[in-house]
Structure 1
Amino acid sequence: MASKYDGLARIIIQNVGGKDNIISLTHCITRLRFTLNDESKAQTEILKETDGIASVIQKGGQYQIVIGNEVSDVYDAVCAVGHIKPGGAVDEDGTAVAEAAPAAKKKQNPFDAFISIVTSVFTPCLGVLAACGIIKGVLAMLVAAGVLDGAGSTYNILYSLGDCFFYFMPILLAYTASKKFGLPELEGMTIGAAILYPYLLGSSTMVHDSLFGIPVVMPATGDYTSSVIPIICSIAFAAWFEKLYAKHIPSSIKLFAVPLITCGVTFCLTLWVIGPVTSIAAQGLSAVFTFLNSISSVLLGAVVGGLWQVLVMFGLHWALVPLGINDVSVNGFTFILAGMLGTTFAQTGAVVAIWIKSKNKKLKSLCPPAFISAIAGVTEPAIYGITLPKKTPFIITCVVSAIGGGVLGALNTVQYNIGALGIFSWPSFVNTATNDVSGMIAAVVVSLACTVAAFVAVLVTYKDEK
């Protein structure tokens, strides 16, 4: 079926060097992420000037085309027009493969590879993760306001929906990680389900301190519910291990032998080695941020707030997301990502100021969708389409965001859920254990202050280019 984005899709395919130049294609919240055979064949300047494209970024072995909120529709159109098969088995952040371009995969440095993995594993989860976080936050607000009984049936049932994603995160992440690493999804989900089996829970009365006489060390939380990093590493190992041996298994028994060997070996190694080591590593990274926070929470908040938009520009913000999620799962809260709250609202204020003051019709037409996106927490359209090209507004938003992050740090404001963005992130600052809403009040005040500060500063300084 024809799409209104078919024309844009054809332009994109032609100017990334044609279908034969495409190794893989996937998308995140706002960007098409290509892996190309030869990036020099891409016509970057033409793409940047194309209506419907906010910007083009070349980073980490990926050719990223920033679209905005319509990215999933454009992705579908590119796949349809280019006869690209979504869901192909490709590493290096690719989930859609051009059948005509089975080229060798590009090598990435360790950090770029890490960002690629995090993007692929977490991006499919963000919508549901945000929805569940909003449910938990709203429930906490309703209890705090006396509208809902925190021990009542309605609360318990709805809380089950809000908390289920976080509780069963190893199973759900096992699915997306399996797609990333090329492991059959059901095998990955089986490994995730096994480490969450009731016998292995911290509340279990069943003995589970050793396996074949080898000690089993569970995480500091007592079990793997809500854990993040251990299951991703386990699936990465399982995918590598299965590719290593599966070709030697006779076809007559491969149907059951391969899942038996992969799941059995990976499950044992997860309990013996992968789980304990990755849990300690994750706790160590979190401890670094905790240490920085203990020195100066204001400094930590200012650094995160001031640099967040720069990290977003290069896709490096994904490096902090799993740390924040892991922090919530282990400690019940995180300050790692709280400092970036002001960035969304600083961009919102800047966009409104330019919308009002600019006489450029094309620029003004970009402002309404960028404004709506920014309120919802997606700032790429505002960054790439409006503030960054004008430079000064972008710098202003970074400064305002740094101040906002510092204020949140000074107030010791933390998040109790991760996933929701923009105004929808406010409920995540409600303490769901005590129903304390003071954190949300601080978040709302700082958000509005950042919006007003950026609006005024940009309104006073902005001038259309002549």
Structure 2
Amino acid sequence: MKYEQLAKDIIENVGGKENVNSVFHCITRLRFKLKDESKAQTEVLKNMDGVVTVMKSGGQYQVVIGNHVPDVYNAVVEIGGFNAERPVDTDDVEGGKKQNLLNSFIDLISGIFTPILGVLAAAGMIKGFNALFLSFGWLGEASGTYQLLNAAGDALFYSLPIFLGYTASKKFGMKPFVGMAIGAALVYPALSGLTEGEPLYTLFAGTVFESPVFITFLGIPVILMSYASSVVPIILATYFGSKVEKGLNKIIPDVVKTFLVPFFTLLIVVPITFLVIGPVATWASQLIGQGSIWLINLSPIVAGIFLGALWQVLVIFGLHWGIIPIALNNIMTLGEDPILSLIFAATFAQIGAVLAVLLKTKQQKLKTLSIPAFISGVFGVTEPAIYGITLPLKKPFIISCIAAGIGGAILGAFKTKGYIMGGLGIFGFPSFIHPKEGITVGLWGAVIAVIIAFILAFVLTYLFGLRKDHQAAEPSSEKAAATTVQKENAVKIENEIIVSPLNGEVKALADVKDSAFASGALGKGVAIEPSEGKLTAPVSGTVTALFPTNHAIGLTSDNGAEILIHIGMDTVQLDGKYFTGRVEQGSKVEKGQLLIEFDMEQIKKAGFPVTTPVIVTNSDQYKDTAITKAPEVKNGEQLLSLEK
């Protein structure tokens, strides 16, 4: 497909290219850093063909695309003229304010690991399959085939500080090749040979930090450690290096900056990394790894329930990035990790629920969405399933979380552990093969957990997960809401009296500052300037459309009138803030029943008018629509009269 038009629409609705600080992408989503998120048209983006949903997390405005996000990203970068290599400073402001600590941490980790996530998974898959071939006896450790495959899979992990030196440098705004040089120094092969023989002396003898000293630097003891596959030391070293480089750029003349800035940066950062940053970071990593193992060993079953059930929620909010480095650190320092293994069944619980929706629903659009979501989920990419299917339907998402928690408990009971950062979905199984013992009970635990989680999610969703009146996709604009209302009823049209849903001043629809309403394109009606933040039912009938932000609602009366009420103008941008729904979509309501409460003063302070149109979207089916002549109305007083 060509994605030029989609890219243009995305750029326009995130507030234009002038509103974009930076953009990059992960496996399924575009991650924007916007100057002003309030300028982005979130609901419009959510309703676009080609966009799954929109999320705001970690200081990022995330437009979820799906598996073809690299192609869309390339089109966005080209059309917007963005610099794909531009570093993102962790102190970037959001809405004029610095990010909080959690958002900054998530933004930092995702920015460093996202660029190498694909190749990291690919290398892990090669290592996993190689271990599988060795376990089955298809290859021997001495064979050339095994050695070459092992090199292809292991080289990235051994040289991980070099790769992270590059990505972390871009994140911190340092010259990437300087960061790579720092990483390369950490894994320099000749240093490993210096640890042979008797040490000069030992530091911290008798403690957990006991370290032999084989060399000194200007008389200062150097604690040599293995930094191959390490994570934390290079990130800290690169951060320190970025500060050193920025300082040097201020004092070194432009004519010699090209070589003197990297010269002094390496001269300062590399020794300090070996003397201080590396040892401290390594000790801290080891303590974190041991601590996480200790916590899980207290009750691996409880830990499995907790992590398994919550994993998909963490993914939605981007908080899983805080766990991934700990798991990666465990593998690098301990040779195994029990944390990410506990969430392995979550993917299969998700696709079990999606398969049930696919087979149970009769709605063609939902079926069409379910097929690619299921296929993506099989290979470990669950965002299309979450955002496109299970989360909008609610019950399937909850069921999948329950099934994932049970799968996590099984994984905990079998003490399943991962030994590599391998592939996703079905490609994740080789991660549980022990590099020396081969297939162990942990792998069988993973197989059993996946089967049970998948079947449980499928059965429960098929039996209880779909409501008959639940919409396949939520409306996201006034026009969509009006269309939804029109399609949902087949009631015979009769004369109707519509009472006022609000207390307030009556205004002509033509005075509303929105052309879609003022022109009558959505139907005939009237507007009210409310004096109280309570919206009640103007008729007895059914709630046929309710926005997730609770700023607009559609009803079909028992006599066939289709009514759309939109509280305020552009209030969708508040993303549900200051609105509280008191009914659900599909609910039967009585005239005068409370539908929505809203904080008028806070909405006005946010810069949005509260003028509320009340529209009869099927007014063309009536001979006449009479509007009250009273300048003000109260809840329950006649507002409109519809004549068949």
Question: For the superposition of Structure 1 and Structure 2, which TM-score range results when normalised by the shorter chain?
Answer: over 0.9
TM-aligned CA deviation for residue 305 of structure 1 = 0.7
TM-aligned CA deviation for residue 93 of structure 1 = 9.9
The structure carrying a bigger helix percent of its residues is 1
TM-aligned CA deviation for residue 104 of structure 1 = 10
- Secondary structure of 1:223's partner? coil
Normalised TM-score (structure 1):
0.93
Is 1:23–1:103's contact at 8 Å kept on the other side of the alignment? no
Q: What corresponds to 1:392 in structure 2?
A: 395
Q: What corresponds to 1:312 in structure 2?
A: 315
Change (3 A) 1:203 1:149: farther
The answer on 1:465 being equivalent to 2:463 is: no
TM-aligned CA deviation for residue 152 of structure 1 = 2.3
Give the distance between the partners of 1:106 and 1:360, measured in 2 at CA.
44
The answer on 1:284 being equivalent to 2:287 is: yes
Instruction: State how many pairs are aligned.
Output: 454
- Secondary structure of 2:148's partner? helix
The range that moved more, 138-147 or 330-339, is 138-147
Change (3 A) 1:436 1:404: same
- Secondary structure of 1:86's partner? coil
Is 1:170–1:228's contact at 8 Å kept on the other side of the alignment? yes
Question: Aligned match of 1:108 in 99, 103, 108?
Answer: 99
Q: What corresponds to 2:220 in structure 1?
A: 214
TM-aligned CA deviation for residue 451 of structure 1 = 1.1
Give the distance between the partners of 1:362 and 1:82, measured in 2 at CA.
31
Q: What corresponds to 2:339 in structure 1?
A: 336
Is 1:48–1:56's contact at 8 Å kept on the other side of the alignment? yes
The range that moved more, 34-43 or 198-207, is 198-207
The range that moved more, 348-357 or 251-260, is 251-260
The range that moved more, 18-27 or 451-460, is 18-27
Is 1:93–1:117's contact at 8 Å kept on the other side of the alignment? no
Is 1:302–1:406's contact at 8 Å kept on the other side of the alignment? yes
Is 1:23–1:105's contact at 8 Å kept on the other side of the alignment? no
Matches within 5 A, 1:30-429: 30-92=28-90, 107-201=98-192, 204-205=195-196, 208-218=214-224, 222-429=225-432
Normalised TM-score (structure 2):
0.68
Q: Which amino acid aligns with 1:159?
A: N
- Give unpaired runs (5+ residues) of structure 1: 95-101
Give the distance between the partners of 1:212 and 1:260, measured in 2 at CA.
19
Change (3 A) 1:191 1:311: same
TM-aligned CA deviation for residue 359 of structure 1 = 1.6
- Secondary structure of 1:84's partner? coil
TM-aligned CA deviation for residue 357 of structure 1 = 0.8
Give the distance between the partners of 2:141 and 2:272, measured in 1 at CA.
40
Post-superposition CA distance 1:187-228 (Å, at most 9, x none): 11111111111232277438744322222234xxx4111101
Change (3 A) 1:93 1:152: farther
- Secondary structure of 1:335's partner? coil
For the aligned residue pairs, the C-alpha RMSD in angstroms reads 2.0
Q: What corresponds to 1:98 in structure 2?
A: none
Q: Which amino acid aligns with 2:62?
A: Q
Q: What corresponds to 1:97 in structure 2?
A: none
Q: Which amino acid aligns with 1:217?
A: I
- Secondary structure of 2:83's partner? strand
Is 2:304–2:342's contact at 8 Å kept on the other side of the alignment? yes
- Give unpaired runs (5+ residues) of structure 2: 200-213, 471-644
Post-superposition CA distance 1:230-281 (Å, at most 9, x none): 1011111111211112221123432221111111211111112211222222
More contact order relative to length (CA 8 Å, sep ≥ 6): 1
TM-aligned CA deviation for residue 8 of structure 1 = 1.3
The structure carrying a bigger strand percent of its residues is 2
Give the distance between the partners of 2:274 and 2:132, measured in 1 at CA.
38
The range that moved more, 292-301 or 201-210, is 201-210
Is 2:53–2:64's contact at 8 Å kept on the other side of the alignment? yes
TM-aligned CA deviation for residue 79 of structure 1 = 1.6
The range that moved more, 104-113 or 394-403, is 104-113
The range that moved more, 374-383 or 6-15, is 6-15
- Secondary structure of 2:62's partner? strand
Post-superposition CA distance 1:352-391 (Å, at most 9, x none): 1001111222111111111111111111110011001111
TM-aligned CA deviation for residue 106 of structure 1 = 5.8
TM-aligned CA deviation for residue 83 of structure 1 = 2.2
